[in-house]
Structure 1
Amino acid sequence: MRDSLPVNAGRRYFAAADVLRILCIFTVAWFHIWQQSWLDPSFRIAGHYFDLQRIVRRGYMLVDLTLMLTGFLLYRPLVRAGGRIADVKGFYYRRLCRILPCYLLAVLVAAAFVLARGRAVGSAPLWRDLLTHLTFTHTFSMDTYYWTSLNAALWTVAVEMQFYLVFPLLARAFGKRPALTFSLMTLAALVSRALVALRAHELSLWLNQLPCMLDLYALGMLAAHLLEKRADAPRRWVFFPLALLALFGAFAVLWRQNAAGDAEIKMAQLLWRLPLGVCGAAFLYFSGRAPERLDRVFGNRAVRFLSAISYNFYIWHQFLAVKLKEFHIPAYVSEFPQMSEGRAWQTKYTLLCFAAAFLLSAALTYLVEKPAGRALLRLRARKEKV
Structure 2
Amino acid sequence: MRSSDDRVYLAPVDHLRAAAAVLVVLYHGCQVLGARLQGREFRPAVDWPHSVNPAWTLVFEGHTAVALFMVLSGFVFTVGARGRPVRYGRFLGNRALRVYPLYLLVALLGLATQVSLPTWRELLGVVTFAAPAQPYGGVFWTLAVEMQFYLVFPLLNRLLTERGPGALLRLLAAVAVLRALVWLSSPVAEPHTVALYLGLAGRIDQFLLGMLAAWAYLRHRERLRAGRRVLLPVAGALALGLAWWFNQVRGFVSDSPLKLVWGTAEGAVWALVVLVYVAGGPSRGVLSRAVARLGEVSFSVYLTHFMVLAVLGEYAAGGPIRALVPAGTPPPAAALWLTLLVALPSTLAVSWLTYHAVELPFLRLRRPYTAPGVETPRPRQHAAAGGEERITS
Give the CA RMSD over aligned residues.
3.4
Aligned amino acid, residue 245 of structure 2: R
- Deviation of 1:237 after TM superposition, in Å, equals 3.9
Shift in alpha-carbon separation, 1:135–1:330, aligned structure 2, 3 A: same
Q: Distance in 2 between matches of 1:24 and 1:122?
A: 33
Q: Of 290, 293, 302, which aligns to 1:305?
A: 293
Question: Which residue of 2 is the match for residue 202 of structure 1?
Answer: 192
Aligned amino acid, residue 302 of structure 2: Y
- Deviation of 1:94 after TM superposition, in Å, equals 1.3
Aligned amino acid, residue 311 of structure 1: F
Question: Which residue of 1 is the match for residue 123 of structure 2?
Answer: 130
TM-score under structure 1 normalisation?
0.76
| Pairing 1:168-183 to 2, within 5 Å after superposition | 168-183=154-169
Shift in alpha-carbon separation, 1:236–1:223, aligned structure 2, 3 A: closer
| Residue 315 (1) aligns with residue 318 (2) | no
**Structure 1 stretches lacking a partner, 5+ long:** 1-8, 40-48, 139-143, 378-386
| Pairing 1:356-371 to 2, within 5 Å after superposition | 356-371=346-361
Shift in alpha-carbon separation, 1:253–1:348, aligned structure 2, 3 A: closer
TM-score under structure 2 normalisation?
0.74
- Deviation of 1:185 after TM superposition, in Å, equals 2.9
Shift in alpha-carbon separation, 1:272–1:234, aligned structure 2, 3 A: closer
- Deviation of 1:281 after TM superposition, in Å, equals 1.3
- Deviation of 1:75 after TM superposition, in Å, equals 0.6
Shift in alpha-carbon separation, 1:181–1:299, aligned structure 2, 3 A: farther
Shift in alpha-carbon separation, 1:357–1:341, aligned structure 2, 3 A: farther
Shift in alpha-carbon separation, 1:310–1:195, aligned structure 2, 3 A: farther
- Deviation of 1:248 after TM superposition, in Å, equals 2.0
Q: Of 72, 75, 78, which aligns to 1:69?
A: 72
Shift in alpha-carbon separation, 1:226–1:111, aligned structure 2, 3 A: same
Deviations 1:42-99 (A, max 9, x none): xxxxxxx977332221111231121011000001122343xx11x3222111111111
- Asked whether the 8 Å contact 1:64–1:216 carries over to 2, the reply is yes
Q: Distance in 2 between matches of 1:32 and 1:194?
A: 30
Question: Which residue of 2 is the match for residue 99 of structure 1?
Answer: 99
- Deviation of 1:230 after TM superposition, in Å, equals 2.8
- Deviation of 1:274 after TM superposition, in Å, equals 1.6
Aligned amino acid, residue 353 of structure 1: A
Q: Of 28, 31, 40, which aligns to 1:32?
A: 28
Q: Distance in 2 between matches of 1:309 and 1:364?
A: 9
Question: Which residue of 2 is the match for residue 22 of structure 1?
Answer: 18
- Deviation of 1:167 after TM superposition, in Å, equals 0.9
Question: Which residue of 1 is the match for residue 383 of structure 2?
Answer: none
| Pairing 1:115-194 to 2, within 5 Å after superposition | 115=114, 118=115, 120-121=116-117, 127-136=120-129, 138=130, 144=131, 147=133, 151-194=137-180
Q: Of 210, 216, 236, which aligns to 1:247?
A: 236
- Asked whether the 8 Å contact 1:67–1:217 carries over to 2, the reply is yes
- Deviation of 1:288 after TM superposition, in Å, equals 4.1
- Deviation of 1:192 after TM superposition, in Å, equals 4.6
Shift in alpha-carbon separation, 1:174–1:375, aligned structure 2, 3 A: closer
- Asked whether the 8 Å contact 2:107–2:137 carries over to 1, the reply is yes
Alignment length (residue pairs): 335
Give the ranges of 4+ consecutive aligned residues of structure 1 lying more than 6 Å apart after TM superposition.
9-12
Shift in alpha-carbon separation, 1:230–1:375, aligned structure 2, 3 A: closer
Question: Which residue of 2 is the match for residue 383 of structure 1?
Answer: none
- Asked whether the 8 Å contact 1:75–1:171 carries over to 2, the reply is yes
- Deviation of 1:269 after TM superposition, in Å, equals 4.2
Corresponding residue SS for 2:9: coil
Q: Distance in 2 between matches of 1:204 and 1:323?
A: 29
Question: Which residue of 1 is the match for residue 38 of structure 2?
Answer: none
Corresponding residue SS for 1:202: coil
Aligned amino acid, residue 244 of structure 1: P
| Residue 352 (1) aligns with residue 342 (2) | yes
Q: Distance in 2 between matches of 1:321 and 1:259?
A: 28
Shift in alpha-carbon separation, 1:277–1:73, aligned structure 2, 3 A: same
* Structure number with higher relative contact order (C-alpha < 8 Å, ≥ 6 residues apart): 2
Corresponding residue SS for 2:139: helix
- Deviation of 1:341 after TM superposition, in Å, equals 8.3
**Structure 2 stretches lacking a partner, 5+ long:** 36-51, 368-393
Question: Which residue of 1 is the match for residue 386 of structure 2?
Answer: none
Q: Of 219, 222, 227, which aligns to 2:217?
A: 227
Deviations 1:261-290 (A, max 9, x none): 865266544432222211211122223443
Corresponding residue SS for 2:293: helix
Q: Distance in 2 between matches of 1:321 and 1:271?
A: 32
| Pairing 1:260-299 to 2, within 5 Å after superposition | 260=250, 263-264=253-254, 267-290=257-280, 292=281, 294-296=282-284
Aligned amino acid, residue 103 of structure 2: Y
